[in-house]
Amino acid sequence: MRHASLFTRRRFLTIGAALAGTALLPERLRADGIGLREWRGVALGADACLQLAHPDPAEADRLIRLCLDEVGRLERLFSLYRPDSALRRLNRDGALADPPGDVLRLLSEAVAFGRRTDGAFDVTVQPLWQLHAAHFGRPGADPEGPPETAVVAARGLVDYRALRVGPERIAFARRGMAVTLNGIAQGYVTDRVSELLRGQGMDRVMVDLGEIRALGSHPDGRPWRVGLKDPTAESRLSETLEIADRAVATSGGYGTRFDAAGRFSHLFDPATGHSARHWSAVTVTAADATTADALSTALSILPASKAEALLSGFPGVTARLTRPDGGVLRLAA
């Protein structure tokens, strides 16, 4: 079996490719009537893979189509780039009446993670992203980044506590605020797909939609294997994790760099308005992908002492933090 790779893209695009057929399996699995059906393609802007242990290839393909339909449905709600998405309408209008259930649920969870991380995770950092994208998108942009006055102004629009989330209306308390779900939505979508498959009776599944969740173990009885890309050389793996009934998410500044030198990335510290540079990559394992995704984002902007204190509030979660020099700090709650 191949190693599933972690990617740190933070954009939602479209789903591509078709069913890729059955994976190659050891003969003893085939003799037991177990088939590992595999789809590989692109989902949510990242290389994606679904692996289902099922004896009936046609039924496995039907389940995969259900999963891809669910990913498409959720992308239409959460995308920053689709003009008709619920998130785009919220950012454009400053409010969203009668929000769809998944938008309400995800934003409620996002605000809760804001509270639990003391603001290290904040979905309202989009004004900082917009500022830096506009600055570095201009010819001859100052390599030192936007003026500090502009950073201060954008940071004044960043505050998860000013996001009002209710079943009848979601709204910003300040004009000019905006939300990005790129630090949590991939984990959320991964969880929804995983729960869809669990509801269909599947208990040996690997879902890789950029963030990863495993239901049960590999059909040969061992854990699923997840390869972590080396942030200094993405062509090689820095480590292989073995997981069962766990989720894995990675965040890294190399996912979206605004400048050629890599000094400015999408991982903004809400407290300063500047890109965090403590770690080159942060990998979190947790019981669900939403938690792993949000915490990998939050830990990415914290120094070691604060990262350890934060993780202590999340029992059962582990983190692997890679320093720019390649050193690794391992934390466990």
Q: Mean pLDDT in each 10-residue stretch from start to end of the chain (333 residues)?
A: 31 31 39 74 86 92 95 94 94 97 98 97 96 91 93 97 98 97 95 97 94 94 90 80 95 72 84 91 96 97 95 96 92 89
Q: Quick one: 149 and 289 in the same domain?
A: yes
Q: What's the pLDDT score for residue 9?
A: 39
Domain boundary at 245, 263, 286, which? 245
Does 245 belong to an annotated binding site?
no
Does 240 belong to an annotated binding site?
no
Give the span between the Cα atoms of 156 and 8, in whole angstroms.
27
Q: Quick one: 302 and 193 in the same domain?
A: no
Q: Which two tokens stand for residue 79?
A: 């995308």
Q: Quick one: 93 and 171 in the same domain?
A: yes
Q: Which two tokens stand for residue 281?
A: 């990559």
Q: What's the pLDDT score for residue 254?
A: 62
Q: What's the pLDDT score for residue 255?
A: 58
Q: Any idea what the CATH number is for the domain that residue 175 is in?
A: 3.10.520.10
Give the span between the Cα atoms of 189 and 193, in whole angstroms.
6
For 125, other C-beta atoms within 10 Å of its C-beta total 28
Q: Quick one: 218 and 270 in the same domain?
A: no
Q: Quick one: 265 and 214 in the same domain?
A: no
State which residues form the domain around 117: 86-182+250-332
Give the span between the Cα atoms of 98 and 16, in whole angstroms.
31
Give the span between the Cα atoms of 296 and 86, in whole angstroms.
25
In the chain the first and final C-alpha atoms are separated, in Å, by 31
Q: What's the pLDDT score for residue 253?
A: 61
Query: Which of 185, 178, 183 has the alpha carbon at shortest distance from 127?
Result: 178
Q: What's the pLDDT score for residue 213?
A: 97
Q: Quick one: 58 and 93 in the same domain?
A: no
H/E run at residue 207: strand 205-208
Q: Quick one: 92 and 18 in the same domain?
A: no
Q: Quick one: 326 and 265 in the same domain?
A: yes
Domain count, the chain: 2
Q: Quick one: 272 and 168 in the same domain?
A: yes
Does 183 belong to an annotated binding site?
yes
Q: Quick one: 240 and 309 in the same domain?
A: no
Q: Quick one: 164 and 312 in the same domain?
A: yes
State the pTM of this model. Answer: 0.88
Domain boundary at 226, 245, 264, which? 245
Domain boundary at 219, 245, 271, which? 245
Q: Quick one: 98 and 150 in the same domain?
A: yes
